[in-house]
Structure 1
Amino acid sequence: MRILGISAFYHDSAAALIEDGVIIAAAQEERFTRKKHDAGFPAEAVQYCLSEAGVDMKDVDYVAFYDKPFLKFERLLETYLSFAPSGFRSFKTAIPVWLKEKLFQKDLLRKEFKKYDPDFDWMNKLLFAEHHQSHAASAFYPSPFEEAVILTMDGVGEWATTSVAIGRGNKMEMVKEIHFPHSLGLLYSAFTYYTGFRVNSGEYKVMGLAPYGEPKYKDLIMDNIIDVKDDGSFRLDMSYFNYCTGLTMTNQKFADLFGKPVRGRDGEDLEQFHMDIAASVQAVTEEVVLRLTRSLREEYGIENLCLAGGVALNCVANGKILRDGAFKNIWVQPAAGDAGGALGAALAAHYHHKGAERVADTGKDFMRGSYLGPVFEQSDIEERLKKAGAVFETLSDDETIQKTADAMASERAIGWMQGRMEFGPRALGGRSIIADPRSPKMQKILNLKVKYRESFRPFAPSVLREDVGEWFDHDQDSPYMLMVADVHKNKQKEMSDDEKALFGIEKLNVPRSEIPAITHVDYSARIQTIHTDTNPRFHAVVSAFKERTGCPVSVNTSFNVRGEPIVCTPEDAFRCFMGTELDNLVVGNCFLKKEDQDEKLALDYKNAFELD
């Protein structure tokens, strides 16, 4: 039984293919088209999934779409009617697009799939799941749990913005929902907009900015904007927002509450005020999710929690849920956003529509490390790099590991492309930039000269699973970089009184641990544990680095520049290498040095992509 899952037409389109419940392939369309957050029909991702399985569309039993367009259209109409006559301009903008494209998505999907198979039986093969059902299925069914509470939090699906389901075996029952316009995801996006970042893209910047500030406005938000009950349920005061009827997220009343206008995206410096705003909305978010998780544990008595939806990518909140201890075990879908809805739709069709049996393997999930994208054979890599004009040497497996570890220990920044591409927003050692975390200058170098992004942005550590407890206040698996914990006390460096008195970005240049390149200003780090069973090659190179330095940790950031999708192919990797100040590129067993390359092939990547 083969089921193809699709998410499309809003942002982060993706495709995923399962076979008898086993995840065969999954990828976001942006990785192929090179358009960040590509919302179009995921034609190339579909083709990849089919080719990875070695099948054609006629061999696919069902196609499952991740939400129900008619319910979304119903919400759109009801919202505009509720707020009429306000918002006519927004209504006038949205309705033609809906009538032309989105309302008739079934017909659009039918036409797309007939390109693959003229005899595609869309009447019987095409299935639709609800948005939060897709998210919940993506979290529960690949998890290692036989039974779990499933919490989904995002901007909005059809109507639901927060939902709770109970998963047992092959069944999943939705038991609670909070509906639009009351949304924790949209609240966070409103503050993303207010602080000058792009909605549906810059939320993680707000999370990264928060430790530079103090949550001075938390009470102001809780007293005026959001009413949170003891059980975590909430309502927003919509008089502060524009997203129901306007073309912006917030309005003048919102700005007046905080005493400053919306920060412009270009040319306006971040002030301490913006850092305090970020810290405040982060604190409110954590307060809401902790009240939710505590009440859910008490109500249902189940010790396992699964998380999905865009809010589940808030790894700082996830870490606090884990340390809070209400749930014994937590599992977060690595593609928690809309891309993961493609996988969830396929899994929902398999278990709900077909009633397939499910066996949970306690202690191990079914995401295969989230390495579900394309892989390239060594001979193909060499041919592609030669055509691109690259100068490289081809090494043995062991030589590749040893030379890469040597380069890391020499404070060289390395583009690392190995094995299958990751599914989801995080680079996990398949398409990563790696470097020495002990270097006090590495964070600034990578931000300003490689990633071309804001200097405040933190970098994540990848650490050998067997060593994580010695270096961090965390001793559990965290393979998907979705948990934040502090650097271990015995690795921290005490700050002087003068250093403690610094404000905001001034804190950035103070080394505060033995691994300063991945230690955020509050001593926290977004941890990925490296496992031999899912990524033996990455484990080997960090192990070799540990042999040289005693440090079992690598800087790990996504292999791209600001605004660019993570690299997919060897050509993508070489272009990014030549457009940045990366020192080395390692693709398969091909080892490249920047100083050996033809200077004529250098690219200007600094302004090649739109601000994200």
Structure 2
Amino acid sequence: MKNNKTVILGLHFGHDAGIAILVNGIPKCNLIRERYNRAKHSFGINVSHIEESLLNAELEIEDIDMIAITSTQAYELVVVDRPKELQIEYGEHPNKKIKSILYNENFNENNNNFNTRLGGSIINNVYCDDLVASRSYKNQFPEYKKVKKEDLGIKKSLRDFAELNFWKQEMGLKDISDLKIKNLLNEKEKSESLFHFPLRVTLKGRSIPGVAIQHHAAHAASAFYNCTSKNSIILTHDGGLLETGPLNGMIFYGESNKILPIFPHHLTIGDLYIRVGNFLGFDYFGAAGKLMGLAPYGKPIFFNEDMVGNTYDLRFRGIKNLRKSWLKNCIKLAKSMGYDLDPIGNCNRILEPICIDIAASTQKLFERTLLQTVESISNICLNNEIDIDTICYAGGTGLNCPANSLLFKESAFKNIYIPPFCDDSGLSLGGAQYAYHHVLDNPSLEISNKSYLSLPYLGLKNSKNSINEAIKSFQDQINIEDNINCEQSAAIDLHENKIIAWFEGRSEIGPRALGHRSLLSNPTYSENWKRMNELKQREKWRPFAPAVLKEDVDMYFSGLQNESPFMLFTGQVLKNNLPAITHVDGSARVQTVTVETGGLFLILKKFKELSGCSVVLNTSFNGPKEPIVEKPAEAINFLVTTKLDVLYLNGKKITRK
């Protein structure tokens, strides 16, 4: 290729769709579709977004060596615009041979056996007339209002990849912990080829080799290839709907540049967690995060140890369906204890005892199931003489901070590594990294601490011209201050108890604001919990997270691992002067800040000088039911349409007139 570069384009078509570009294994950018069409959890790919990403990375279509494709369970490969310019076919490209068990042993695109492995029904739900059944999917794809279904490019996604025969054994978590896997690790040729499949991709007239990558293999890659450890055990899990098999998640072994699938864990706790949130009244997307925030208000009074385990553990105990049995367990106990059941499903009464105690009980069930799973994984390592102190963890369940913290405190693993984009927003990058390292056999990269801490900031660059145009369009409504020390000014504003927005450089990838698209306030004022929820038009009970200088974290929080740069672990608040970020149980979801974070580091330094406190309240810069702000015009519009006090936008201080 040009200048000896190997360029991988990663396309994730499922919810939280995205486009990632790797050059010689190094992430160059990652465009998340929801940030551009302003609809949370959007799916599908736009050719125009591919063009924008390539331009941002200073590349052309001719530079692309391979296209890695992933999707979410049940989501088709949907091309939203100009479908004739992005076409995907299953099968080997004449210029690139890829070893794939499924392709080599089973492929014929007209073969019924292969066709049964293809999936996708979401786009039909979007265009159906049943608004109740399809509402969540319509929200993910607002283009349905303007684009006819027949004008889209739609291809069934490869859902069921190859499997090893011994995966079909009915094993509970204890059985899994006794697995002997040395032969599997010593005879890698087959296991290395299970979770990818060759493609022929035509992009704007150019035929390019492609590879389809299994959903959880891409999750595993997004964690392992961005971890500082060369060898690691890997756990993936999400809200997959099946009761058994690889589609709900896997245990993998990462060694050097390869990721080897070991065994499916058969967990359904991720799906249950979301469904309980739905049961209490939350929308499907967003239910898990809200349930996590609600749980500390209650007591785990309905917890039942018999329901801890995977699908086979439960079946061995006579429990056929975890979701139905868990809710039946909660309601039966609640009735016997005299709870008022009327608040269930009514978000206006979400803080009633029945709701908060179901939430707390479900959280405990989630935590104990996850811990038991990780204990089984630890035993696999012990029994097979695999000396590893790090577990990588990805999939949407990795966003559950209390559970992550429990793993750190009680599991045998010294390090718990979870990427900032452990949800499906990380699949475009994970897929590209899997293609580069695992499929093309390029060596793993040395991940420095600096590159690890800078990992989230992969959004596209905003040009000076786009900033100037945004300012011009709002010029009659705003005041601009240039040539000032914005970090110092922001710290002064926070000390004076103003709520500010901080917009810096390239946006964070993943659902958490990590200092480039953040709303900040002073955590020492208790009213700022209420003020910030009102500003964002969120439920008044929802908590907020602190950002703290890493060097000072032990002064304010206990129970954390060495660092928490991606806001994925909780700690206990040690001081009573941080009411705006202290949850009702005394916990907080902590982000540790270093110089790699950017301007937030300097803000905290100056704020500490002014106030004696090196903690600020940090939440994502977005309005109600909106994705995180991506572009300058969106940031300024937020300022002029809300009660935000100050916006700092790439070196400019902006206020309303």
Aligned amino acid, residue 578 of structure 1: V
- Equivalent in the alignment of 1:600: none
- Equivalent in the alignment of 2:189: none
- Equivalent in the alignment of 1:246: none
2:587 matches 1:582: no
Q: Deviations over 1:206-263 (max 9, x none)?
A: 00000000001112xx44x555599999999454658xxxxxx999898667554793
Q: Contact 2:56/2:461 (CA < 8 Å) preserved in 1?
A: no
- Equivalent in the alignment of 1:183: 268
Q: Contact 2:371/2:407 (CA < 8 Å) preserved in 1?
A: yes
User: Taking structure 1 as reference, are residues 298 and 105 closer, same or farther at Cα in structure 2, changes over 3 Å only?
Assistant: closer
Q: Contact 1:232/1:288 (CA < 8 Å) preserved in 2?
A: no
- Choose from 269, 292, 313 the match for 1:207: 292
Aligned amino acid, residue 168 of structure 1: E
What is the alpha-carbon distance in structure 2 between the residues aligned to residue 118 and residue 336 of structure 1? Answer: 31
2:9 matches 1:4: yes
Aligned amino acid, residue 582 of structure 1: L
Q: Deviations over 1:376-431 (max 9, x none)?
A: 34564233212223422233252x12221111111111111111100000110100
SS of 1:273's equivalent?
helix
Deviation at 1:177, TM superposition (A): 0.3
User: Taking structure 1 as reference, are residues 362 and 36 closer, same or farther at Cα in structure 2, changes over 3 Å only?
Assistant: closer
What is the alpha-carbon distance in structure 2 between the residues aligned to residue 485 and residue 232 of structure 1? Answer: 32
- Equivalent in the alignment of 2:123: none
Q: Contact 1:468/1:475 (CA < 8 Å) preserved in 2?
A: no
Aligned amino acid, residue 396 of structure 1: N
2:200 matches 1:138: no
Q: Deviations over 1:63-105 (max 9, x none)?
A: 111248798964979xxxxxxxxxxx999xx9xx99x976535
User: Taking structure 1 as reference, are residues 267 and 144 closer, same or farther at Cα in structure 2, changes over 3 Å only?
Assistant: same
Which segment drifts farther, 370-379 or 19-28?
Answer: 370-379
User: Taking structure 1 as reference, are residues 556 and 112 closer, same or farther at Cα in structure 2, changes over 3 Å only?
Assistant: farther
2:573 matches 1:484: no
2:357 matches 1:271: no
What is the alpha-carbon distance in structure 2 between the residues aligned to residue 254 and residue 71 of structure 1? Answer: 42
SS of 2:291's equivalent?
helix
> Equivalences for 1:283-362 in 2 at 5 Å?
283-300=364-381, 301-361=387-447
- Equivalent in the alignment of 2:174: none
Question: What TM-score comes out, normalization by structure 1 length?
Answer: 0.80
Q: Deviations over 1:270-322 (max 9, x none)?
A: 41211111111110111011112222223214111111000001111111111
Deviation at 1:366, TM superposition (A): 4.0
Q: Contact 1:369/1:480 (CA < 8 Å) preserved in 2?
A: no
- Choose from 618, 621, 630 the match for 1:559: 621
What is the alpha-carbon distance in structure 1 between the residues aligned to residue 611 and residue 587 of structure 2? Answer: 22
Aligned amino acid, residue 191 of structure 1: V
Q: Contact 2:201/2:207 (CA < 8 Å) preserved in 1?
A: no
What is the alpha-carbon distance in structure 2 between the residues aligned to residue 231 and residue 478 of structure 1? Answer: 33
Question: What TM-score comes out, normalization by structure 2 length?
Answer: 0.75
- Choose from 166, 174, 177 the match for 2:261: 174
> Equivalences for 1:435-450 in 2 at 5 Å?
435-448=521-534, 450=535
Q: How many residue pairs are counted as aligned between the two chains?
A: 534
User: Taking structure 1 as reference, are residues 565 and 380 closer, same or farther at Cα in structure 2, changes over 3 Å only?
Assistant: same
- Equivalent in the alignment of 2:602: 540
SS of 2:239's equivalent?
coil
Aligned amino acid, residue 33 of structure 1: N
* Coordinate RMSD, CA, aligned: 3.4
Aligned amino acid, residue 276 of structure 1: D
What is the alpha-carbon distance in structure 1 between the residues aligned to residue 481 and residue 417 of structure 2? Answer: 39
SS of 1:138's equivalent?
helix
Structure 2: unaligned runs, 5 residues or longer? 1-5, 77-112, 121-131, 138-148, 159-197, 336-340, 382-386
- Equivalent in the alignment of 1:507: none
Q: Contact 2:68/2:213 (CA < 8 Å) preserved in 1?
A: yes
Q: Contact 2:18/2:30 (CA < 8 Å) preserved in 1?
A: yes
What is the alpha-carbon distance in structure 2 between the residues aligned to residue 251 and residue 472 of structure 1? Answer: 35
What is the alpha-carbon distance in structure 2 between the residues aligned to residue 5 and residue 185 of structure 1? Answer: 26
2:93 matches 1:41: no
Deviation at 1:363, TM superposition (A): 4.8
2:30 matches 1:17: no
Q: Contact 1:171/1:352 (CA < 8 Å) preserved in 2?
A: yes
Deviation at 1:562, TM superposition (A): 2.2
Q: Contact 1:6/1:15 (CA < 8 Å) preserved in 2?
A: yes
Q: Contact 2:569/2:589 (CA < 8 Å) preserved in 1?
A: yes
- Equivalent in the alignment of 1:104: 156
SS of 1:61's equivalent?
strand
User: Taking structure 1 as reference, are residues 404 and 226 closer, same or farther at Cα in structure 2, changes over 3 Å only?
Assistant: same
What is the alpha-carbon distance in structure 2 between the residues aligned to residue 592 and residue 241 of structure 1? Answer: 50
What is the alpha-carbon distance in structure 1 between the residues aligned to residue 254 and residue 314 of structure 2? Answer: 21
- Equivalent in the alignment of 1:499: none
Aligned amino acid, residue 275 of structure 1: I
Q: Contact 1:215/1:279 (CA < 8 Å) preserved in 2?
A: yes
Aligned amino acid, residue 343 of structure 1: L
What is the alpha-carbon distance in structure 2 between the residues aligned to residue 44 and residue 364 of structure 1? Answer: 32
User: Taking structure 1 as reference, are residues 288 and 230 closer, same or farther at Cα in structure 2, changes over 3 Å only?
Assistant: farther
Q: Percent identity?
A: 31
Which segment drifts farther, 469-478 or 360-369?
Answer: 360-369
- Equivalent in the alignment of 2:508: 422
- Choose from 489, 497, 502 the match for 1:403: 489
2:553 matches 1:468: yes
Q: Contact 2:470/2:636 (CA < 8 Å) preserved in 1?
A: no
Which segment drifts farther, 297-306 or 342-351?
Answer: 297-306
SS of 1:148's equivalent?
strand
Q: Contact 1:255/1:261 (CA < 8 Å) preserved in 2?
A: no
Structure 1: unaligned runs, 5 residues or longer? 78-88, 243-248, 492-512, 597-612
Aligned amino acid, residue 527 of structure 1: V
Deviation at 1:571, TM superposition (A): 0.6
